[in-house]
Chains A and B, each alone.
Chain A
Amino acid sequence: MDLSKLPNDMKLQLCKSYFKVGCLFLPFVWAVNVCWFFRDAFIKPAYDEQKLIKKFVIMSAIGAFVWAVILVTWITVYQTNRVSWGATGDALSFIVPLGRA
């Protein structure tokens, strides 16, 4: 879909619905929202709907960032501590590596 061919109110609609979908524990949708509408929100010359689009893009960015921090922290903790957690570590794992701890 080419954003340049859409009227501005449809762009706002799209941005809003992507934001709403991202609330369903889908941080990547928020990240996509940010990348896709970044130009329209910050670089294009001002138009009516731009204020709202900017708001949604910023909120998506914050949301994606928070998710990224949480995920990176959890992944680091898990990867470094899985072996020392013993049985709990195995219970948390979907794929347990073969042939080693």
Chain B
Amino acid sequence: MSLKHIYLLVTIILLIFKGYSCERLHELIYSSIEGSAACFRRLNGTHQTGCSTSDKGAVGVVHFVQDHDDVLWLATNASAGPYMAVVSTSKFGLVEFLIDHPTNIAGVLTYENASDIPSFFTHDTRCPNEFSSADGNQCSSSKEGGVVWNEKGTGLLKREIPFPIFFIPESRYEEIEKISHCFGRFNYDKNNQRGRSLCSIQLNSFMFAAINTEVCMRRSATSTIVTTTKVCDPLGDQNVYYSLFPRTKESKKQSITLVTARIDSASLFDGVSPGAASSVVGLVTLISAAAALAQLIPVSKSNLYETNILWTLFNGEAFDYIGSQRVAYDIKRGVWPPNAPLAPTDVKLHVEIGQIGGSLSDYVNENTWPLNAFVPTLAPSTINDGDNDIQIFLKQLSNAYNMTIPGIFNGSLPPSSIHSFRRILSNVTESGEMLEMLLVDHKETFTNVFYNSALDDSDKIAYVYKNISMINNVTFISTAELIADGLMKETDTQVKISRLATALAHALYQRVVGEAYTGNITVSAHLVDEMLYCFLKNETCKLLSAAEFGGNEGPREGAGPAPLYVGVTSWNTVAPVFAGHLLALLTGTQLSLNKSQCETKPESGYTRLWLKGWNHNGVCIETTMNFSQALSPAFIISDYDFKSGTYSTWTESVWQTMWARVFVSASGGSACVAAATGAVSTLIAALLTFWLRRHSSLIFVDPPSATIVVDDAASGILRSVNC
């Protein structure tokens, strides 16, 4: 075969067998660390917080940090260049020392180990949302004395960190083992590290935004000739609200009881914010109480009563109360809820379900779950009559709960959405027209020592999924039956939450109807079990597959629960949608309409949703549930002064990619040799080329003159033309 044919054959063979990898040789030295979650940058009106790396990432030599001696060595004696500290979450306190001495530290890699759970792990400030709290708040980070709510809080969530921090969850523990082997092979000899090949890690989490919200919003908004890159997004999402009786502009009751809870959580790391004790317990209590009350008082009886109950879930509360500030601001302007706005004087009582999840793990072997009710200081004229509306309600609640819930009247108010209402609707809250009550499980400091952190998962509320099948796929088994059949115990978290939700529903029934409830409808612990599973374990669950949009395809490949972080306003997260649809499914009326009929305009005061339903065939639900935007008023008021501190100004930086990889760095010696060889060979080549050009006439023999001898006149002419 000729050469050409051989080339063709080789090309065809190579094209067929594309099994070769197309990676550059240089990339083959790295082993990527999968499943990590990075600390990222958020900004508020005056500061930037969180972590960032340079564009090329941060490289550091691996060092496992186990105790204070290790961090001391890193800060003072270590010699082989910047280090990457690898520390377990149980020893995370050592990172504080590294932040104070960051010169030799390139970053931190922290990992979760099931056999070594920290006794506390919270990075919110000691006084959460201190600067958005109402007057009379005694928790202060600068002054001594007063009560401190989040005792163990390090404040890292709201501070600037000089190096990147990445988190490896328990499910990815094999990555830590990989790094540990690498460390054992190359870095073991601490004192002779300089000049050797060392196991190193490169982290990249380059953040686009900087300085503060004002600057980054300005940079994102400038309209130059060329399209601008967006560098940050405001935090925001959706609030969920649902009213017991429908409300329209014409027929709305003048007396409203607002029952609220928060739906969001937060953590230092992107994508990991389970929020079990911080939010999910309150969220589940609210949804199940709302479902029970809808059964106790059907919508058909709405004309008989004068009080309406408006259940609301606020989003973004971890970041200066984004959701509740927006709702309070909208109520002041008279535009919330959008279809039938209420006036501030309409709300007679505001009950907030605050931090109730922290003590569940403390009372894991007992039937009781003690709670307290904080009542913010009232104007002097309304204090302490026994007929005070709040004290009446508290008594009704205590009766229904079978346990006294003491009211704390003169204390500082713990962090909660009530602060937003007291600041923005101060007219009605200070005069006592809007009474407020906060349900919590603590007195002085939080019982939840994993407040707003990545480790606030189902273990911290002593929750174990019972996986009980539903009757006919439609009905939930009642709590009494579950206990009688031995499927649940009185000490189970699910039973405790169902008892609280039942008490809340019965107390609200009494408030609306005027008489105590004497029937036997209660909240089912089975329903609570399923709800906790959906929000804490896996979003592919029975409840949510019935509650999702009817048009969606089959079950998602849910790799765990949906994170509860509020996220940016331009991207709606799934948690509020789940919660809203669950509320609709459990409380709404089922209409016998098909999909296209369901999409027609409903009666005023209602929305219609086409959901999957319990049999997954699609069902039309008519409900009073709806969503409203949870975006801080700072971003909708034109020319708002971001430094004023009136409203939440939190934004999140934009980033392109975040990754981590481990490799073995070249020892100092071999790198120098390579560089020297390169420089020398370049020099030699340059000299050689120069010398060759100089003496080209000697080296290259002129080729014999053109051998094309043509004997005609044309060639003579060609030869004489000199171009």
Contacts and interface: CB of A to CB of B under 8 A. Distances in A.
Contacts of A52: none
B466 interface: no
A25 interface: no
A85 to B, nearest CB: 12
Contact of B208 (A86, A87, A94, A98): A98
Nearest to A87: B218
A100 B210 contact: yes
A86 B54 CA distance: 22
B229 interface: yes
B115 interface: no
Contacts of A90: 215, 218-219, 222
Interface string A57-101: 000000000000000000000000000001100110010101111
Contacts of B229: 98
A101 to B, nearest CB: 6
A90 B229 CA distance: 13
B207 A91 contact: no
Contacts of A98: 55, 206, 208, 210, 229, 231
Contact of A99 (B209, B218, B224, B226): B209
Contacts of A101: 210-211
Contacts of A91: 222
Nearest to B55: A99
Interface residues of A, number: 10
B52 interface: yes
Nearest to B653: A99
Contacts of A87: 218
A96 B231 CA distance: 10
- Main secondary structure, interface of A, reads loop
Interface string B204-244: 00111111000100110010101001010000000000000
A90 B209 CA distance: 13
Nearest to B209: A99
Contacts of B207: 99
A1 to B, nearest CB: 16
Nearest to A91: B222
Interface residues of B, number: 17
Contacts of B215: 86, 90
**Which of A90, A94, A96 gathers most chain B CB within 10 Å?**
A96
A67 B22 CA distance: 50
A86 B219 CA distance: 11
Nearest to A96: B219
Interface in B278-315: none
A94 B210 contact: no
A75 to B, nearest CB: 20
Nearest to A100: B210
A101 B214 CA distance: 12
**Which of A87, A90, A94, A98 gathers most chain B CB within 10 Å?**
A98
B233 to A, nearest CB: 15
A94 B219 CA distance: 11
Nearest to B654: A98
A99 B210 contact: yes
B206 to A, nearest CB: 6
B678 to A, nearest CB: 31
B52 A99 contact: yes
B42 to A, nearest CB: 14
Interface in A1-29: none
A4 B231 CA distance: 57
A100 B218 CA distance: 14
A94 B215 CA distance: 16
B652 to A, nearest CB: 14
Contacts of A86: 215
Contacts of B208: 98-99
A77 to B, nearest CB: 21
A99 B219 contact: no
A86 B209 CA distance: 15
Contacts of A94: 224, 226
Contacts of A96: 219
Nearest to B228: A96
A5 to B, nearest CB: 13
Interface of A: 86-87, 90-91, 94, 96, 98-101
19 contacts: A86-B215, A87-B218, A90-B215, A90-B218, A90-B219, A91-B222, A94-B224, A98-B55, A98-B206, A98-B208, A98-B210, A98-B229, A98-B231, A99-B55, A99-B207, A99-B208, A99-B210, A101-B210, A101-B211
Interface of B: 52, 54-55, 206-211, 215, 218-219, 222, 224, 226, 229, 231
The 9 A-B residue pairs with the shortest CB-CB distance in the complex, in nearest-first order:
A98-B208, A100-B210, A99-B207, A96-B219, A99-B208, A99-B210, A101-B211, A101-B210, A99-B206
Given A94-B226, A99-B210, 8 more contacts: A87-B218, A90-B222, A91-B222, A98-B208, A98-B210, A98-B229, A100-B210, A101-B210
